[in-house]
Amino acid sequence: MKTSHYLFVSLLMLSLAACRRDRAANEDWRDAHFCFEQGLAALDSDSVRTGELLLNEAVRLAHKEKDWHTMYLAQQRLAESLAWGNSRAALEMAKQALTTYEQHPDDERNHIMLLDYAGTYASQVAFHENNDFTEAFAYTQRAYELADSLGDAELLCETLTSLANIHWGADDFPAALRYARAAERLAPEHLLSATLQVLARCLVSCDSLAAAEAVYHRMQPGDDLQAAYIVQSNLAKLALHRHDIEEAEEAIDEAFSYAEELYYKALQQKDDYYQTALRQERENERLRYTELLQRLALWGGLAMVIMAAIAAFVIVRGRMQTRELLHRQEAAAQQEQLRQRDSMIHFLQDFILERCDVVQKLGESAERHINISAHEWEEVEHTLNAIDDNRFTRLRARYTELKEEDVRLCILIRLGLTNRAIGNIYGISISAVQHRKLKLKKEVFGENDPETTLEQVLEKL
């Protein structure tokens, strides 16, 4: 009966696994984080439409999975992509990202960056639609205050730069210049180029052309072709302001050179992305084909298991009966071994307790001390090692600092003797026995818990 029940359950589980695999093959296997990473890769390769579709899918899946961190990051990155063509849509998406974060906050740095992005998009909307910059100032000022309370110099630099940009967009050039100079003082190495770019623009707007040119010359764009193009084009404009035609031509030539290089680099990135996407699609096709073969193999294997189960039913049942018989025999043998061990323990216990009885019968005038010879101790220990899997041999090897009288005390405890009987053997009081046990427990076995007895320590060992 047990065997047939086991086979029925096994076959049922295999069937359910096969059905579950068939259903899973038709479901969307992607998760929110995967779509988010793929969306970023597409945007980095200038595949804007594909990237935005993937980020929208990441937002949907993240809401379904309750992955709020991925959700607000995808919304923020989507807002950044939308900002190139639709500032209003970017602002609304940034507000959604803020709402998601504030309902499920985690890292305060992310909160500051989301506020900063929202302020930037609000300023773009105000600039293009000729609105006031109140909303932009509100978001960015809040981001600055949080960054200031956090004491994060990098975030302070970024929020100060954003405030400078917003004031510049609102035509408040002196205030923009103050914020840009404050950002420059805090700017780390990797933000210095962008901060100097904002500072130079503010200086130009304040008619400090010489100072602006000096700032542009300080910028080190390195491999950033876009930043290099911006520097050279602005140097060309400043040269034209000074009527330095030769320098303006050189700056314009360099600017076009950087622009051309930037264009070809973008094409290369786009080609790399398409090649990667093509390889990924081929790998997906291979995985789908492999999964189909696996399903076919699973159903075929299931049929074979059913046939083999029917054929092997009698053999399995016979083996189980044989195993049960062996188990019963082993259990009986173990019971007999335990019985013999307990008998030997009782024998050794009686051997020692008989001496205790003799001493007590002698009366108070007799010497209350039992003498057990070294040979008798060795015999008792040898017997206990034989029935207890070399308990005391291992105890001596592990605790080399054990004295001979300590080992003998452990032997008496193993035999289950009372403190009174142990006191008679050593010729000491019951309280002295208790003190000796406590000292052995603490100094040799390192057990300081008052609730734990020496007997429990030895049992664990």
Tell which wins on pLDDT, 278 or 383. 383
Q: What is the pLDDT of residue 1?
A: 46
Buried b (16+ CB within 10 A) or exposed e, 207-231: eeeebbbebbeebebeebbebbbbb
Q: Which has the closest alpha carbon to 412: 401, 399, 424, 402? A: 424
Q: Which of 232-236, 263-267, 449-453 has the highest mean pLDDT?
A: 449-453
Cα distances from 75 to residues 98, 159, 245, 282, 401, in angstroms, run 9, 20, 47, 30, 68
Summarised one tens digit per residue, pLDDT across range 314-323 is 787 777 777 7
Summarised one tens digit per residue, pLDDT across range 27-38 is 445 789 999 999
Phi, psi of 242 (to 5 degrees): -90, 0
**Averaged pLDDT for residues 290-308:** 81
Tell which wins on pLDDT, 277 or 322. 322
Lowest average pLDDT, out of 170-184, 200-214, 340-354, goes to: 340-354
CATH superfamily for 15-206+268-286 is Tetratricopeptide repeat domain (1.25.40.10)
DSSP letter for 354, please.
H
State the residue for tokens 């060309």.
236
Phi, psi of 248 (to 5 degrees): -65, -40
Exposure of 408 in the CB half-sphere (CA atoms within 13 A): 18
Average pLDDT value over all residues in the chain? 79
Lowest average pLDDT, out of 119-128, 315-324, 378-387, 410-419, goes to: 315-324
Residue 136 burial (CB count, 10 A): 28
Q: What is the pLDDT of residue 242?
A: 64
Given a cut of 60, whether residue 66 has pLDDT beyond it is yes
Q: What is the pLDDT of residue 165?
A: 92
Q: What is the pLDDT of residue 443?
A: 86
Phi, psi of 76 (to 5 degrees): -65, -45
Query: Given pLDDT bands bounded at 50, 70 and 90, which one contains residue 272?
Result: low
Lowest average pLDDT, out of 27-31, 115-119, 207-211, goes to: 27-31
Q: What is the pLDDT of residue 254?
A: 63
Q: Which of 13-17, 95-99, 190-194 has the highest mean pLDDT?
A: 95-99
Summarised one tens digit per residue, pLDDT across range 324-371 is 777 777 777 677 666 766 777 777 766 666 655 544 544 444 344 566
Asked whether 42 and 19 are in contact (CB, 8 A), the reply is no
Distance CA 284, CA 289 (A): 9
Q: Which has the closest alpha carbon to 352: 407, 255, 420? A: 420
Asked whether 173 and 202 are in contact (CB, 8 A), the reply is yes
Phi, psi of 366 (to 5 degrees): -80, 160
**pTM score of the predicted model:** 0.49
Distance CA 17, CA 299 (A): 10
Contacts of 127 (CB under 8 A, 6+ apart): 169
Given a cut of 50, whether residue 101 has pLDDT beyond it is yes
Instruction: Let me know the angle formed at the C-alpha of 371 by 365 and 374, rounded to the nearest 5 degrees.
Output: 170
Query: Given pLDDT bands bounded at 50, 70 and 90, which one contains residue 253?
Result: low
**Averaged pLDDT for residues 249-260:** 57
**Averaged pLDDT for residues 379-406:** 86
Distance CA 121, CA 131 (A): 13
Distance CA 189, CA 436 (A): 70
Structure tokens at 180: 């840009």
Helices (H), 130-170: 134-150, 153-169
State the residue for tokens 């479901």.
27
- Domain spans of the chain, in order of start: 15-206+268-286, 374-460
Query: Given pLDDT bands bounded at 50, 70 and 90, which one contains residue 261?
Result: low
